[in-house]
């Protein structure tokens, strides 16, 4: 509505200005004509030949018409000395202003109404000689007629513009408002707890469409986060409560009167173990949250990824030997420099090796390789272990996910989740290819410079 008003006001102003400019130009033309006539007659009058004056009067009046042009000559006392054909001008009379100006030697223009039906005239009064004041009057009938036409045209144009402007403004406003209003209503629905609400995708105009699309993306993200949170809460509830329940049970048994000192000792030992397990889970969960909080929580330094791989192998080689699993490197460059959080990259390596060794039986192989290209570094851990079923693959990086076969193994199920969070915080991601009974290959990609993740990585997933 505001825009319509502004548009209307400015169009009216514009037309008014045009109208006044036109009318003033036209009036100047009229005044120029009048001045010309005045000068002509004044010159003849000064010659002092009344016959010549009369001849000129008749000529001019005949040319323009007695209803257009009239001349009058007044004496100092304002009495009329002579005039041209005044039949069309019954009420012509003068105010003191023109005479006073004339007496002072100046010429003055004024506009007079000439009788009830005769219209207006522009009048010039001036002193021609001592005791002779000349008055020339030019009818503005033509002038007024043209101006009236112009004024009417302007008014019609103004009205049209205002109508169209108001209508268009109202319509556009209505469309825009509807878009914004829809978004507002949808937001209210989400705020009330219904996270499935979305803004309907109708084309409404570029800006509103962008708003709707962005808003829908945000709503989608909120919904998936809520889903994840609920899932995590359910899992946490179970996985954190179980050790606590066990501890409580054992402590209660130790409190029982019949327990011997050895039994109490054993219980206490088990309680300590469960505490450590629980603490490990909590710490890892905190690690995941911290990593997911983003780049701000990381200490970015120069890291040689090839060195991280070699150190990791160094750490796990004894374990692999004990298990009878071969642990070796595949394609590994002398050095692979990246910019990232050294401790966290160390953690990914350890988690993946831990995982691979856990699920690869004796006689199997684990091969680690690394490479880089296109702004990304790639780390691969390939094992010949139990493999992961297709339906589990999508879940293994979720928090607390333990496949049924692994429920009996120690570990919290958070290792892969943390590894993924770290990879993502480094501008990359983790993927896995696996075949049941054959083995799995875990592929970690990270940006070569974690403080400025590669735009081409395309690995910033929006969902889980």
Question: Which residues in this chain contact other proteins in the complex, by CB under 8 A?
Answer: 269, 272, 275-276, 279-280, 283, 286, 290, 299, 311, 314-316, 318-319, 321-322, 343, 346-347, 350-351, 354, 357-358, 410-411, 415
Take residue 28 and report the two structure tokens written for it. Answer: 């100047």
The residue (of 97 and 343) whose beta carbon lies closer to other proteins is: 343
Question: Helix 415-425 vs helix 342-359: angle between axes, to the nearest 10 degrees?
Answer: 140
CB of 336 to other proteins, least distance (A): 19
Integer Cα distance of 406 and 360 in angstroms: 12
Q: How far is the CB of 378 from other proteins (least distance, A)?
A: 23
What count of other Cβ atoms lies within 10 Å of the Cβ of residue 290?
Answer: 16
- What minimum distance in Å lies between the beta carbon of 243 and other proteins? 14
Q: Which residues pair with 432 in a beta bridge?
A: 442
Nearest to 197 by CA among 214, 185, 179: 185
Report yes or no: 388 and 396 within 8 Å, Cβ to Cβ: yes
Q: Which is nearer to other proteins, 176 or 264 (CB)?
A: 264
- By beta-carbon proximity to other proteins, the closer residue of 240 and 315 is 315
DSSP state of 204: -
| Closest CB 1 distance from other proteins, rounded Å | 56
Residue 6: which residues within 8 A CB-CB, separation 6 or more?
none
Q: How far apart are CA 381 and CA 448, in angstroms?
A: 19
By beta-carbon proximity to other proteins, the closer residue of 150 and 319 is: 319
Q: Which is nearer to other proteins, 208 or 298 (CB)?
A: 298
Give the bridge partners for 405, in sequence order: none
Task: For tokens 């297709």, name the residue.
Answer: 390
Cβ distance to other proteins smaller for residue 124 or 419: 419
Min. distance of Cβ 431 from other proteins in angstroms? 22
> CA–CA separation, 393 vs 140, rounded Å?
95
Closest approach, Cβ 320 to other proteins, in A, equals 8
């Amino acid at each position: 509505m505001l825009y319509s008003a502004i548009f209307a006001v400015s169009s009216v102003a514009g037309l008014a200005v045009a109208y006044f400019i036109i009318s003033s130009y036209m009036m100047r033309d009229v005044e120029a004509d009048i001045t010309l006539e005045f000068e002509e007659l004044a010159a003849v009058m000064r010659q002092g030949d009344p016959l010549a004056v009369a001849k000129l009067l008749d000529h001019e009046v005949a040319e323009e018409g007695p209803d257009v042009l009239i001349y009058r000559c007044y004496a100092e006392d304002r009495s009329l000395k002579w005039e041209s054909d005044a039949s069309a001008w019954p009420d012509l009379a003068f105010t003191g202003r023109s005479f006073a100006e004339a007496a002072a030697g100046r010429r003055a223009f004024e506009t007079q109404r000439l009788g009830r039906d005769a219209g207006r005239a522009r009048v010039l009064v001036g002193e021609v000689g001592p005791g002779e004041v000349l008055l020339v009057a030019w009818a503005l009938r033509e002038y007024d007629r043209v101006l009236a036409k112009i004024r009417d045209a302007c008014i019609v144009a103004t009205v049209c513009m205002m109508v169209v402007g108001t209508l268009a403004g109202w319509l556009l406003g209505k469309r825009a408002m509807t878009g914004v209003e829809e978004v507002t209503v949808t937001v209210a629905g989400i705020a009330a707890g219904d996270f499935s609400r979305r803004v309907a995708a109708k084309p409404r105009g570029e800006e509103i469409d962008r708003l709707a699309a962005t808003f829908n993306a945000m709503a989608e993200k909120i919904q998936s986060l809520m889903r994840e949170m609920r899932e995590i809460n359910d899992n946490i509830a179970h996985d954190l409560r179980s050790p606590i329940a066990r501890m409580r049970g054992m402590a209660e048994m130790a409190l029982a009167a019949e327990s011997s000192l050895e039994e109490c000792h054993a219980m206490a030992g088990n309680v300590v173990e469960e505490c450590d397990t629980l603490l490990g889970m909590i710490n890892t969960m905190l690690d995941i949250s911290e990593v997911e909080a983003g780049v701000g929580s990381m200490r970015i330094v120069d890291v040689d990824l090839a060195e991280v791989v070699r150190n990791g192998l160094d750490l796990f080689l004894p374990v692999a030997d004990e298990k009878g699993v071969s642990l070796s490197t595949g394609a590994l460059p002398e050095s692979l420099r990246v910019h990232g959080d050294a401790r966290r990259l160390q953690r990914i390596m350890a988690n993946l090796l831990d995982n691979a060794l856990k699920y690869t039986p004796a006689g199997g192989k684990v091969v680690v390789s690394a490479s880089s290209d296109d702004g990304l570094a790639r780390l691969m851990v390939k094992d010949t272990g139990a493999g992961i079923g297709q339906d589990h693959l999508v879940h293994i990086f979720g928090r607390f996910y333990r496949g049924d076969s692994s429920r009996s193994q120690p570990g919290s199920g958070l290792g892969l989740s943390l590894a993924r969070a770290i990879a993502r915080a480094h501008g990359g991601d983790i993927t896995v290819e696996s075949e049941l009974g054959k083995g799995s290959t875990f592929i970690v990609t990270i940006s070569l410079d974690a403080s400025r993740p590669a735009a081409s990585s395309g690995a910033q997933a929006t969902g889980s």
